[in-house]
Amino acid sequence: MELRRQKTYKGVFDRARDELLGNAMEEKFFLAGLRHERAGAGVRVHVPFFDENILLDIPGFTFSSSKGANVTLVAKIVILHYINNASGIPLTGEKVAYGDIPGCMHYDPVFEKRVLKPLVRAFGYDRHAFLDAGRGLGAKEEGFGDASLTLFAFPKVPVTFVLWEGDTEFPPSARALFDPSVTGYLPLEDIVVVSKLAAGRILKTAMKSFAQEV
């Protein structure tokens, strides 16, 4: 199963790579809000990705992280999709729930299970740990719910998580909000992927902080 999945991802990556090579790349970099420069016979693109900077070297399509972290195949695909789909439309400053994004309503249960439930399990009764993890990622604190923060997956793709703590009367809950322009930068399926990556980074940061305290 894992081998089949890797082959599928490799095919998706190859198609995204070929699409970028067939596009006016420099225009796409501009629309995506990315800096680039000539590097020998190729191009080096600087991709702000959450709390790190990914260097993408073309035509070799090598990816390296400013933190020395492994850049997974899924992350590579999302980065290429972001560049390929970049429309250049500005952020509106508004925020809409995942289910209110056109075409996403029917996938709301999947989004809830993959993205929001892990956050609720970890932080449903501890908003301070949630906020501390966000600060560790350079997230911007917001004024929604009992605690909320925004991470930028890419320069034009903010993801906001809102947490409501549970008490004796109500169970904890969470919600994800997006700028309506998100569909001008990511295909619908990638919105789930990016959100899962964002939630995963918050959880991982919290776990590291807990391990250091112990």
**What mean pLDDT, rounded, does the chain reach?**
93
What is the pLDDT, as a whole number, of residue 208? 80
Contact (Cβ atoms closer than 8 angstroms) between residue 147 and residue 127: yes
What is the pLDDT, as a whole number, of residue 39? 80
Average pLDDT score over residue span 134-163 = 97
In a domain, 91, yes or no: no
The token pair at 177 is 């909000």
What pLDDT digit, counting tens, does each position of 63-114 carry?
999 999 999 999 999 999 999 999 999 999 999 999 999 999 888 999 999 9
By residue count, the chain amounts to 214
- What is this structure's pTM? 0.93
Domain membership of residue 45 as a residue range: 2-85
In a domain, 42, yes or no: yes
Q: Is 40 helix (H, G, I), strand (E, B) or coil?
A: coil
What is the pLDDT, as a whole number, of residue 41? 85
The reply to whether 104 and 151 lie within a common domain is: yes
User: Looking at 31, 58, 85, which one is the last position of a domain?
Assistant: 85
Contact (Cβ atoms closer than 8 angstroms) between residue 80 and residue 74: no
The reply to whether 46 and 120 lie within a common domain is: no
